[in-house]
Amino acid sequence: MKRQVILIAVLASTLGACARGNYSGGIIPWSPEAELTALDTAQNNCARSSQYAVITSVHREYGDYIGYKCQFNPPPRQSPISRMR
């Protein structure tokens, strides 16, 4: 019984993080866990074509998606002062 529970948990976490994308961007099914790792998942996809990932949209609802795009230039970093405004 314990093995079945562990197997189901591993399969659910694997299936939940399935990103769909290509060299221009993609989508990741939203879940609280997927939102925590979305940038890493997107970057892994974009790195295949030597690009950088940028998260473009997050719809926090089950059945919806986290959108991202791939771009050749690294995303600009915000200074702490510009984030406070």
Residue 2, pLDDT score: 65
The predicted-structure confidence for 30-79, as pLDDT tens digits, reads as follows 999 999 999 999 999 999 999 999 999 999 999 999 999 999 998 887 65
Overall pTM > 0.85? no
pLDDT value at residue 23: 86
- Highest-scoring range by mean pLDDT, 9-13, 27-31, 80-84: 27-31
Tokens of 55: 């998260």
65, 28 contact by CB (below 8 A): yes
Residue 20 confidence class, pLDDT cut points 50, 70, 90? confident
